[in-house]
Amino acid sequence: MSTTADREQVRSLAVRGVRVRVSERRARGAYAAEPPLLLCNGIGASLEVLQPLVDSLHPDRGVIRFDVPGVGGSPLPPTPYPIAGLASWVTAMVRRLGHERYDVLGLSWGGGLAQQLAVQCRRRVRKVVLVATGTGSVMVPAHPRVLMRMMTPRRHRDPAYALRIAPEIYGGTMRTDPRSGAELLHAATRAGPKRGYYYQLLATLGWSSLPGLPLLRQPTLILAGDDDPIIPLVNARVMARLIPDARLHVYPGGHLGIITESDQLAPVVEEFLGGPIPTDGDA
């Protein structure tokens, strides 16, 4: 019998002249006919950070992870990119893997990319899961001190610094056990060039999903922690009101709950993805 690890393939692809490091777990059994779940990570994080979530999802579900160009094992792209350009490129990457349609889950910065994908590539995206994310430049912001911590990739490169600031910026279980969370991030993350982090910041500079949220036709699950210093909970409530077919699930925890408490939140994601599927006309 094959294991989950046996079915995961990590490789480098060229998509529109830009190389990307991508991991794919092929679906099997009852999930073979379903679109894969594309995971979009937080800023500066490589695909390994999401391993706890992947391990907690059904082992037969198809899953795609990737390192954004300039992050982890993906080389820097020739130039910075806008988030709309990245969304088009990501859909081309998924098609390069042989999939015309997919579900998408975006964490934090990746949640912004997931929203852009849902609006811009709506016939490709079946269902959307938004985790610990907001609407970009127009949202209820974090405390200025937290925002300042997010302006550099230092926490991804300096374990001692990450340990010191984890309770303040991540909240949740990081407040009582910051070492486990910081170690999880640093054991998994492959640090890419610093410029890749700043390319991600530039991609969303001035970008807001607010005008597009009422246009989302996909069923959307919003997961938000009640102790998230980076994305205050009110942002999730605003998104849930604006997206026509949205469901809000508030969990007790912080910004990285989908990773640190993946065993509790993955079943919520599974239940949502297994629900009614929209027709092509709806999505």
- Write out the catalytic residue numbers: 108
The radius of gyration of the chain's CA atoms, rounded to the nearest angstrom, is 17
CA dist 248 and 131 (Å) reads 10
The structure tokens listed for 177 are 């056990």
Residues 6+ apart with CB under 8 A from 158: none
Total residues belonging to the chain:
283
Q: Are strands 220-225 and 125-131 parallel, antiparallel or unpaired?
A: parallel
Count Cβ atoms below 10 Å from residue 99 Cβ, excluding itself.
18
The structure tokens listed for 181 are 């969370």
Ramachandran class of 217: left when φ > 0, alpha when ψ lies in -120 to 50, beta otherwise: alpha
Structural contact between residues 130 and 239, judged by C-beta atoms closer than 8 angstroms = yes
Angle (nearest 5°) at CA 66 between 36 and 211? 75
